[in-house]
A and B are shown apart, each in its own frame.
Chain A
Amino acid sequence: MNKIAIIGFGGAGYCAAEEARKCDPDARIDVYLDTDIGPYNPMLTTYYVKGAIGYQDMFPFGSLEKIEEELKLNVFRKTPVVGLDAAEKTVIRADGSEESYDSILISTGASAFVPPVEGKELPGVIKMRTAEDAVFLKQYLSEKKPKTGLVIGASWVGIKVLEDFMSCGMDCTLIDGADWAFSIAVFPQTAQRIHQDLENKGVKLGFGQMLDHIEQESDGQLTAVMKNGNRYTADTVAVCIGIRPNVGFLAGSGIAMNRAILVDEKMRTSAPGIYAAGDCCEAYEVQSGQQKNIGVWFNARKQGAVAGANMVGACKEFGGNALLNLAHYLDYDFISIGDVSACTAEDEVYEYEKGELYIRAVRGEKLKCINMIGTAQINGIMKNFFVKSFETEDAEMDVPTRCHLLANGIPAEFIDFIGGKTFD
């Protein structure tokens, strides 16, 4: 009988348990949780805050009790794993007790990163990642009724918190250390349009400045003091600078890591019998051929399912992984596919703008990065084609795909640019 452990129970952990149970009805599956709540989707927290969904909707797989019963799991609630003996495949619990397994999955996810600055603990300074964060912010907005909000970090979480603030009628300012919003994924030309849209909606912007510390004014307001001396005062300050993988407990375990745990296509770490999946791992990405941490819900679920199956003897692989950033906020959406940092001045550039549609793409020998605003209907087609262009030599589009793109207002020249040219 397989005896496996799952450390951390979000989207990756749940899908691992589900797949392991499907492949091995008799396996013993132990799940370790820091909390006593079921797997939830961190992406949904801001939707809960603004009232788009109820609390239970953040838990797409149902309650922990239901999952525990249906998948026949042994759930260890509020039982943090503080260490791992990789060679012995043994987990070390906070109380010092140990348990050995045939295989172990690390699916501990990631946490919001708040820089260690003075004032980060002041009342009214918030972060957003967990269901607990969401409950706190919803209650805070409801009770305190702040009039002004400052969001530090033009990140994917930051923009959604800003949307929450604006849905409460708050006057908002968005600032970031980079020179433009979403700088790790978008071209400056794309950012220019994103900035214009935000300003049109009344958001004040400030880029290229780093947070030094946060002060509380005599009237209770908060002032973020930047390293360049600028001061931004608001009723509440959201620090949304980014996330960090939860891998601290693996120090000294010998498991190979970069920023997160390095895994192969089968979600195996460098230690035999130890797997990792979701936001705490770096899996192979098609464009660079390197391992990268791409923390999206879809990846977490797919990676978890692959790991879960392999832990009980199957042989599955996770593929099709590309750098991908999708933002949908304030009736605006854009997508970035590929690595903007891989683009050089020698590359070929395609640009198109018509009404609300904007496309900017760059290619060298192969596609490097595509930014698109207002193209939600074709985002999946483009992402899929981008991945296939790396996975298959001379991949081109079939007729239905080309027709679909044309019908959605995508210029034939762009289809040709990305490589959909040849028809026999």
Chain B
Amino acid sequence: MKHVFTFDPDKCCACSACVIGCTDQNDIDLAGGEQCFRKTYDVEIPLQDGDVYYAYLSTACMHCKDAPCITACPVGCISKDPDTGFTIYDNTACIGCKSCAMACPFGAPRYRKEDGKMVKCDGCYMRVKNGMKPACVRACSFGAIDCVPEDEYLASGSNKACNALIDQLNLRKKI
């Protein structure tokens, strides 16, 4: 069953519990210089009128429907999981060329210096297939991130899908 990640910025305080959950689930060696697949941001952005916008965000791979990283990978490491719809990978033949990173509008694929291979968020697709929530979702105390079946999401009328960002990608009209 296809799944959708949702994110509600109004509930996020960038506490990074999701990052801890992701790090633990994927055995990411932060001390060794690796980066977690999920990132949180707590950023103050000055506005033109002198006010400040406080951004609290948690982001990872958006699991785009037509994922450009899949097309860009020269060795075919990246694919769609037919059950969950998540963008997954097998980096056995990865050559570390970073073509996937060049294709990704969100900076999701990461280059692991230790073995020279690409790694990324796979949506914890094995957990989801076994009826569990992804690690980041389970770790979020505020319900800011969720992962729900696509039909449930569509029926809810919500507009909180992470990959809805794709439709407005990098676009913000001047006011």
A404 and B59 within 8 A (CB): yes
In the assembled complex, which residues on chain B have CB atoms less than 8 Å from the CB atom of A52? 95
In the complex, whether A400 has a CB less than 8 A from a CB of chain B is yes
B41 and A44 within 8 A (CB): no
- CB nearest to B45 among chain A residues: A423
- CB nearest to A54 among chain B residues: B93
Q: Complex: how many Å from CA A401 to CA B39?
A: 12
In the complex, whether A43 has a CB less than 8 A from a CB of chain B is yes
Smallest CB separation, B100 vs chain A (Å): 8
Smallest CB separation, B14 vs chain A (Å): 10
In the assembled complex, which residues on chain A have CB atoms less than 8 Å from the CB atom of B41? 400, 403-404, 407
A53 and B75 within 8 A (CB): yes
1/0 contact string of B43-77 vs chain A (CB within 8 Å): 10101100001010101000000001001111110
In the assembled complex, which residues on chain A have CB atoms less than 8 Å from the CB atom of B59? 400, 403-404
In the assembled complex, which residues on chain B have CB atoms less than 8 Å from the CB atom of A41? 74-75
Given contacts A378-B107, A399-B53, A399-B57, contact A53 B95 (CB under 8 A): yes
In the complex, whether B96 has a CB less than 8 A from a CB of chain A is yes
Smallest CB separation, B38 vs chain A (Å): 12
Given contacts A52-B95, A57-B75, A403-B57, contact A422 B170 (CB under 8 A): no
Count A-B contacts at CB 8 Å: 133
Binding-face segment, A67-75, A276-284, A294-302, A356-364? A294-302
Kindly identify, within residues 25 to 48 of chain A, every residue whose CB is under 8 Å from any CB belonging to chain B. 41, 43-44, 47
Kindly identify, within residues 358 to 406 of chain A, every residue whose CB is under 8 Å from any CB belonging to chain B. 376-381, 383-385, 388, 392, 394-404, 406
B111 and A394 within 8 A (CB): no
Tally chain B residues at the interface, Cβ within 8 Å: 41
In the assembled complex, which residues on chain B have CB atoms less than 8 Å from the CB atom of A406? 43
In the assembled complex, which residues on chain B have CB atoms less than 8 Å from the CB atom of A61? 76
- Which of B76, B105, B165, B173 is in CB contact (< 8 Å) with A396? B173
B98 and A398 within 8 A (CB): no
- CB nearest to B53 among chain A residues: A423
Q: Complex: how many Å from CA A324 to CA B141?
A: 42
In the complex, whether A208 has a CB less than 8 A from a CB of chain B is no
Smallest CB separation, A279 vs chain B (Å): 14
In the complex, whether B99 has a CB less than 8 A from a CB of chain A is yes
In the complex, whether A335 has a CB less than 8 A from a CB of chain B is yes
B165 and A380 within 8 A (CB): no
Smallest CB separation, B42 vs chain A (Å): 9
In the assembled complex, which residues on chain A have CB atoms less than 8 Å from the CB atom of B169? 384, 388, 398
Given contacts A377-B101, A395-B171, contact A328 B96 (CB under 8 A): yes
In the assembled complex, which residues on chain A have CB atoms less than 8 Å from the CB atom of B57? 399-400, 403
In the complex, whether B89 has a CB less than 8 A from a CB of chain A is no
In the complex, whether B154 has a CB less than 8 A from a CB of chain A is no
Kindly identify, within residues 68 to 115 of chain B, every residue whose CB is under 8 Å from any CB belonging to chain A. 68, 71-76, 93, 95-99, 101-107, 110-111
- Which of A298, A324, A385, A398 is in CB contact (< 8 Å) with B68? A298
- CB nearest to A44 among chain B residues: B74
In the complex, whether B168 has a CB less than 8 A from a CB of chain A is yes
Smallest CB separation, B110 vs chain A (Å): 7
Q: Complex: how many Å from CA A44 to CA B171?
A: 35
A398 and B99 within 8 A (CB): no
- Which of A44, A376, A381, A398 is in CB contact (< 8 Å) with B75? A44
A396 and B98 within 8 A (CB): no
Q: Complex: how many Å from CA A224 to CA B171?
A: 52
Smallest CB separation, B111 vs chain A (Å): 6
- Which of A383, A398, A400, A403 is in CB contact (< 8 Å) with B102? A383
In the assembled complex, which residues on chain B have CB atoms less than 8 Å from the CB atom of A380? 68, 101-107
- Which of A297, A385, A394, A400 is in CB contact (< 8 Å) with B174? A394
Q: Complex: how many Å from CA A41 to CA B106?
A: 25
A302 and B71 within 8 A (CB): yes
In the complex, whether A408 has a CB less than 8 A from a CB of chain B is yes
In the complex, whether B155 has a CB less than 8 A from a CB of chain A is no
In the complex, whether B175 has a CB less than 8 A from a CB of chain A is yes
- CB nearest to A48 among chain B residues: B95
In the assembled complex, which residues on chain B have CB atoms less than 8 Å from the CB atom of A399? 43, 45, 53, 55, 57
Given contacts A394-B173, A397-B172, contact A404 B96 (CB under 8 A): no
Given contacts A377-B110, A395-B171, A400-B57, contact A47 B95 (CB under 8 A): yes
In the complex, whether A99 has a CB less than 8 A from a CB of chain B is no
B172 and A381 within 8 A (CB): no
In the complex, whether A346 has a CB less than 8 A from a CB of chain B is no
In the assembled complex, which residues on chain A have CB atoms less than 8 Å from the CB atom of B107? 377-378, 380-381, 404, 408
In the assembled complex, which residues on chain B have CB atoms less than 8 Å from the CB atom of A335? 102
A392 and B75 within 8 A (CB): no
In the assembled complex, which residues on chain A have CB atoms less than 8 Å from the CB atom of B172? 395-398, 422-423
Smallest CB separation, A44 vs chain B (Å): 6
Smallest CB separation, B113 vs chain A (Å): 9
Having A381-B105, A396-B174, A407-B39, one finds 6 other A-B pairs with CB under 8 Å, namely: A47-B97, A60-B73, A61-B76, A328-B96, A380-B107, A404-B39
Residue pairs across A and B with Cβ atoms less than 8 A apart, 14 shown, are A44-B75, A44-B95, A302-B71, A328-B98, A377-B110, A381-B106, A399-B43, A399-B53, A402-B43, A403-B41, A403-B55, A404-B59, A422-B174, A423-B48
Top 7 nearest A-B pairs (CB, nearest first) are A60-B76, A403-B41, A384-B105, A380-B104, A396-B172, A379-B102, A376-B98
